[in-house]
């Protein structure tokens, strides 16, 4: 093995740069040439490859986003378009590929590994934390900290004005960010795609919680079945006429920023392991973490099984959220 390529795909996540740095440095350590592919699968199809120099990854350990660029690349689902990608891989003499992204990115990586005969390893890079086979994805911890800090700020103004805030966080299909930011910020309620939302029950809960209190914060995952924070506020308004309601959508603020210690350590450790897995001839595996040990999961399981957020004692948690 002489040349390994790296690409970042899907929504960017803090720590992707840290992983690119670790992979590039590990490649140099093992006398491999690291090749950066620009803009995910789009760049793979267009042949936008750059040979990485050691200095290219200087001073990026702390930078959010991805220096390689990222894309959603729906065109990559098309077999004809993938033929270009395969030709580019062969022409460039790439012997192995590391894909940093979420489950959509691994779906692409799996198909690619089956169509081109080189090993492909995945690193979970997404703020959503919704991948099976890891307790944490790269970027999740940073995004959670960003959200919790934003909710702390909202709490200051909410309690000054006796208001109820519906705060929307990311998570189209997943409630990890919503549930865990709610726990960590002491929110009064949380709505996630994995559970049923009952607007009338929520209104009742807010009324009972609000007795003697100066504020309520309801965290809404953007993919909740009743809609985002604006929809929830509109639907609940008729039930809460005497309340002052406000909405905040945190949006892409959640995806940016310098990675936390946890994400930097995870990205560095798993980046090194990804290179070593390629050297061992492993393919179609995702690197994850469990009880502080790095583990691997086959792409078919990482993609096929959806991770769901867990709480040990729902009843107690419900009380904690509404105290």
Residues carrying an active site annotation: 128
Angle between helices 16-29 and 261-279 (to 10 degrees): 40
> What's the closest the beta carbon of residue 200 comes to ligand F6P, in angstroms?
27
Instruction: Give the contact letters, 7-26, x = binds to ligand F6P (CB under 6 A), - = no.
Output: ---xx---------------
DSSP classification of residue 129: -
> What's the closest the beta carbon of residue 173 comes to ligand F6P, in angstroms?
8
User: For ligand F6P, which stretch binds (CB under 6 A), given 44-52, 55-63, 126-134, 277-285?
Assistant: 126-134
Three-class SS of 201-257: HHHHHHHHHCCCCCCEEEEEECCCCCCCHHHHHHHHHHHCCCCCEEEEECHHHHHCC
Positive or negative torsion for Cα 124, 16, 20, 100? positive
Q: How far apart are CA 173 and CA 182, in angstroms?
A: 17
Q: Does 142 count as an annotated binding residue?
A: no
Q: Does 222 count as an annotated binding residue?
A: yes
The phi, psi pair for 7, rounded to 5°, reads -140, 150
Contact in structure between 151 and 187 (CB atoms under 8 Å): yes
Q: Measured between alpha carbons, how far is residue 40 from residues 49, 100, 323 in Å?
A: 10, 9, 45
Instruction: Give the contact letters, 25-64, x = binds to ligand F6P (CB under 6 A), - = no.
Output: ----------------------------------------
> What's the closest the beta carbon of residue 10 comes to ligand F6P, in angstroms?
6
Answer for which of 39, 103, 128, 188 binds ligand F6P (CB under 6 A) is: 128
- Residue nearest ligand F6P, Cβ-based: 11
| Nearer to ligand F6P among residue 141 and residue 222 (C-beta) | 222
Contact set for ligand F6P, span 241-270 (CB under 6 A): 255
Using rule CB under 6 A, residue 69 touches ligand F6P: no
Using rule CB under 6 A, residue 126 touches ligand F6P: yes
Q: Does 23 count as an annotated binding residue?
A: yes
């Amino acid at each position: 093995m002489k040349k390994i390529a790296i690409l970042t795909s899907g929504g960017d996540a803090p720590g992707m740069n840290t992983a690119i740095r670790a992979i590039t440095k590990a490649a140099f350590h093992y006398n491999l040439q690291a090749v950066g592919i620009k803009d995910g699968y789009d760049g793979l199809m267009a042949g936008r490859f750059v040979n990485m120099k050691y200095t290219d990854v200087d001073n990026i350990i702390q930078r959010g986003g991805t220096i390689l660029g990222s894309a959603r690349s729906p065109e990559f689902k098309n077999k004809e378009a993938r033929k270009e990608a395969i030709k580019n891989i062969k022409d460039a003499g790439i012997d192995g590929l590391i894909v940093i992204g979420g489950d959509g990115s691994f779906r692409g990586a799996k198909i690619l590994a089956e169509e081109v005969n080189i090993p492909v390893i995945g690193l979970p890079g997404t703020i959503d934390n919704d991948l099976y086979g890891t307790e944490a994805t790269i970027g999740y911890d940073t995004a959670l900290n960003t959200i919790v800090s934003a909710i702390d700020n909202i709490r200051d103004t909410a309690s000054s004005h006796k208001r109820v805030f519906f705060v929307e966080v990311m998570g189209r299909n997943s409630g990890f960010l919503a549930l865990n930011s709610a726990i960590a910020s002491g929110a009064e309620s949380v709505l996630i795609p994995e559970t049923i939302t009952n607007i009338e029950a929520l209104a009742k809960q807010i009324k009972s919680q609000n007795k003697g209190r100066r504020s309520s914060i309801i965290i809404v995952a953007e993919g909740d079945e009743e809609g985002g924070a604006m929809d929830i506020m509109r639907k609940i308004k008729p039930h809460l006429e005497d309340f002052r309601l406000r909405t905040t959508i945190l949006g892409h603020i959640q995806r940016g920023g310098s990675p936390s210690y946890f994400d930097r350590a995870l990205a560095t450790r798993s980046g090194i392991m990804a290179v070593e897995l390629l050297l061992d001839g492993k393919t179609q595996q995702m690197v994850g973490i469990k009880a502080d040990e790095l583990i691997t999961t086959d792409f078919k399981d990482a993609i096929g099984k959806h991770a769901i957020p867990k709480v040990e004692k729902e009843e107690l948690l419900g009380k904690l959220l509404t105290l």
